Amino acid sequence: MISLNSIIFNGMDAIKIEVQVQLATGLSDPEFHIIGLADRAVKESAERVRNAMSALHVPWPPRRLTVNLSPADVEKSGSHFDLPILCGILCVLGILPRDALSKYIIMGEIGLDGSILKTDGVLPASVWAKKHDMGIICPAPQGAEARLSGLTDILAPQHVLDLINHFTGVRALELPTGDFSSVTAPSDVGDMADVYGQQAAKRALEIAAAGGHAMLMVGPPGSGKTMLASRLPGIMPDMTTDEILETSVIYSMAGKLPNSGLVTRRPFRAVHHTASPVSLAGGGSDAKPGEISLAHNGVLFLDELPEFNRSTLEILRQPMESGKIMISRARHNATYPAKFQLIAAMNPCPCGHLGNAALSCTRAPRCAEAYQNKISGPLLDRIDLHVDVDAVNPWDMKPNTTTDAETSATIRARVIAARRRQISRQGCVNAQLDGPALDAAVKMTSDMTEFLNNAAQRVGLSARGYNRVKRIARTIADLAGRDAVEMGDLIEALSYRPINRGKYGVR
């Protein structure tokens, strides 16, 4: 019996799997069994391996062949077990060296002609291999992906024959090449200078970018909500090296890692309102990450917020607080990181023209109240910035050199400076401050405390909303370059909180 190594993932946690292969003597008829709680994709590897060996002109052994995937109580899924199973059989037959292969994590799907095809999770597998002083054998198209972890012992064959030639000394495989270390600001998004008017919304978007705050824009159709949101990536700071690797690992596990290598820009995931709970939260038979995790370290944009299924929206509540999401299924319990920045947009009512006597429908304001009530109070309370985006006057549809001259680059410079102040002071963005850390960052005078307490009582702020006002005020002070939060910062921060559920035109 020989034993090689592969890997599976339970959320972000890696589990090493031993691929044990044994040929039993004394049987005249060849048999092939794969055991160890393998799913259908793994079971079907038997036929792919048979055909690949035929393409290699290697005769199938006329004995009982058993492959055990250990530990047996962990469910195995995915076609990436094809390559370690085939390598194990070739080791048993004496074609490949057992001792050399046992030093590698092996993963890859096998084509019927013996080619090695792409699979998910190569980057996190290589990260795990580097941590445990092992190498990795992966498909050739993903060799550069494996190198992104800093691992140097990488074999990336295109065909099983390449692997055989490497270990038999015929032709050595070269280390995959590729340099994906550069990080640049987005150049393919619109500029904030293209947005005419909407100074209040621009200001709120800058605060959101600087402090990592969630934001909701409410206004009639055509007022520029989506246009503003689409320009957010252009004013956001670069990701750190750790954030780049962490985000890239999630995309690799989801099979969405770009061909260019690492995810170097903050993700901007625009989700359609028909999205299902599984597509948003993640899951399925193999508990893959969903849009919430794909937006990790970036932005999750939900347009037409009330049109989403309410049960789908409620999924956001827990990860917005904890920064992670747990997916519980009958056979899987996976946890993924989910530190995303929610940016949402909505109309005030179904027709979108509440308050406009010339355009609003005859059912207002009752229809608006029902429409807004599709979004639960607890979810709204978790959104830091609530901004009214009014319709733009047609006479203002031209650039104003006084108010519309600021470009995304100018705003981005202020955002980066504010972020640096936050990281230097507390090690995280202001949106993540809580408890003693929040109290230390926002030192309130007696006048400020009295003002905020009175305002909280009058407008009905929850304890969560109270703290969010303080976080926003801290970000406003950071944008101004001030060490201390002032009364004016609190007043502006309070203006971004909804007074009640009827804030958007319903009294």
What single string gives the DSSP state of each residue in 382-451? T-SEEEE-PPPPGGG-S--TTTS---HHHHHHHHHHHHHHHHHHHSS-GGG--HHHHHHHS---HHHHHH
CATH code of the domain containing 32: 3.30.230.10
pLDDT tens-digit readout, 207-227 = 999 999 999 999 998 888 999
Average confidence (pLDDT) over 41-67: 91
Q: Tell me how far apart the alpha carbons of residues 45 and 34 are, in angstroms, rounded to a whole number.
A: 9
Which of 8-17, 290-299, 389-398, 492-501 shows the lowest per-residue confidence on average (mean pLDDT)?
A: 389-398
**For position 368, what pLDDT does the model report?**
79
**Structural domain contains residue 460:** no
Residue 507 pLDDT class (50, 70, 90 cuts): very low
Average confidence (pLDDT) over 17-30: 80
120's CB contacts (< 8 A; 6+ apart) are: 78, 80, 252, 253, 254, 255
> Does the pLDDT at position 178 exceed 60?
no
**For position 295, what pLDDT does the model report?**
96
* 211 and 126 within one domain: no
Domain end (from 167, 183, 203): 167
**For position 371, what pLDDT does the model report?**
86
Residue 500 pLDDT class (50, 70, 90 cuts): low
Percent of the chain with pLDDT over 90: 64
> Does the pLDDT at position 399 exceed 70?
no
Q: What is the mean pLDDT of the chain?
A: 88
* 224 and 129 within one domain: no
**For position 264, what pLDDT does the model report?**
87
Paired tokens of 354: 């509440």
**Structural domain contains residue 306:** yes
Average confidence (pLDDT) over 311-325: 93
| Number of domains within the chain | 2
* 216 and 337 within one domain: yes
Strand, coil or helix: 159 = strand
* 122 and 253 within one domain: no
> Does the pLDDT at position 28 exceed 60?
no
**For position 333, what pLDDT does the model report?**
77
Which of 169-178, 194-203, 304-313 shows the lowest per-residue confidence on average (mean pLDDT)?
A: 169-178
Average confidence (pLDDT) over 394-411: 73
* 225 and 156 within one domain: no
Domain end (from 130, 150, 167): 167
Higher pLDDT, 460 or 488: 488
Average confidence (pLDDT) over 405-430: 94
**Structural domain contains residue 360:** yes
Q: Tell me how far apart the alpha carbons of residues 212 and 340 are, in angstroms, rounded to a whole number.
A: 8
Query: 71: cis peptide before it, omega within 30°?
Result: yes
Give the sign of the dihedral formed by CA 224, CA 229, CA 230, CA 232.
positive
**Structural domain contains residue 250:** yes
**For position 501, what pLDDT does the model report?**
45
384's CB contacts (< 8 A; 6+ apart) are: 208, 211, 213, 214, 215, 431, 468, 471, 472, 496
Average confidence (pLDDT) over 128-153: 92
* 196 and 162 within one domain: no
> Does the pLDDT at position 296 exceed 60?
yes
* 217 and 119 within one domain: no
> Does the pLDDT at position 185 exceed 70?
no
* 226 and 119 within one domain: no
**Structural domain contains residue 218:** yes
**Structural domain contains residue 456:** no
Average confidence (pLDDT) over 292-307: 95
Dihedral in degrees, nearest 10, Cα atoms 340, 343, 344, 348: 150
Domain end (from 352, 380, 411): 411
Read off the pTM: 0.84
Higher pLDDT, 505 or 313: 313
**Structural domain contains residue 112:** yes
Average confidence (pLDDT) over 57-67: 89
Average confidence (pLDDT) over 118-128: 92
Burial of 242: CB neighbours in 10 Å, binned 0-12, 13-18, 19+: exposed
* 243 and 98 within one domain: no
CATH code of the domain containing 228: 3.40.50.300
Q: Tell me how far apart the alpha carbons of residues 350 and 505 are, in angstroms, rounded to a whole number.
A: 13
> Does the pLDDT at position 497 exceed 50?
yes
Q: Which domain holds residue 161?
A: 2-167
Percent of the chain with pLDDT over 70: 89
Residue 331 pLDDT class (50, 70, 90 cuts): low
Length of the chain: 507
* 320 and 247 within one domain: yes
Residue 260 pLDDT class (50, 70, 90 cuts): low
**Structural domain contains residue 446:** no
* 204 and 162 within one domain: no
Paired tokens of 152: 């140097």
Please tell me which of 63-67, 325-329, 409-413 the model is most confident about, judged by mean pLDDT.
409-413
* 274 and 213 within one domain: yes
**For position 39, what pLDDT does the model report?**
87
